Every structure is written in structure tokens, then in C-alpha cells.
Structure 1
């Protein structure tokens, strides 16, 4: 009886810990992209293309 109870407790703990995941929608809602980041990336790529800059 105690072995069965112990196995059930272990399964409940491992199952409970593995299902706690942050939903993608919540993360996306909290994260707002900085509008200047996109502009900087576009300007950077234009500069690299115009001056043929390579690292």
C-alpha cells in the first residue's frame, strides 16, 4: 500500500513539474518589439550592401 502511494506521489510530482510551461501567447503579448530595432536592422543591411561590408 505504501509503495503504491509512493509511486503515485512521485508520478504526480514529476508530471506536475513537467507541465508548467509559459504559453507562447503570454510571452508574445508581454514582448513588444522596439520600432527602432527594425529600422536599425534595415539601415545596417543597406549599408553592408552599398559598401559591400563583410566581417
Structure 2
């Protein structure tokens, strides 16, 4: 009986540890995607501004 309880407790600890690691990975991935989105938007805005400046030269 004691071995079954110990095995169950070890499985609970194992799955709990895996669950914590998965939550940390999801949190880090979410932060990474948010930062990446900001960089993409910033890059697109800079390119758009550059193209507007180029067009402005044609209308002087």
C-alpha cells in the first residue's frame, strides 16, 4: 500500500513540475510575441515614413 501512495505522490509532483514549466514557457512566449509585434509595427511605420519622404521629393 505504501508503495502505491508513494508512486501516486511522485506522479503528482512530476505533473505539477511539468505544469509549472509549461506556464513559464507560455508566459515567456507571450512576452516575446508582444515585443515582436511592437518591432514589426515600428519597422512598418518607419518604412512608410521613408516612402512618404521619397514621394515628397517628387512634388517639390
The structure showing larger relative contact order (alpha-carbon pairs under 8 Å, at least 6 residues apart) is 1
TM-score, normalised relative to structure 1: 0.46
Task: Name the one with the larger helix percent.
Answer: 2
Greater gyration radius: 2
TM-score, normalised relative to structure 2: 0.43
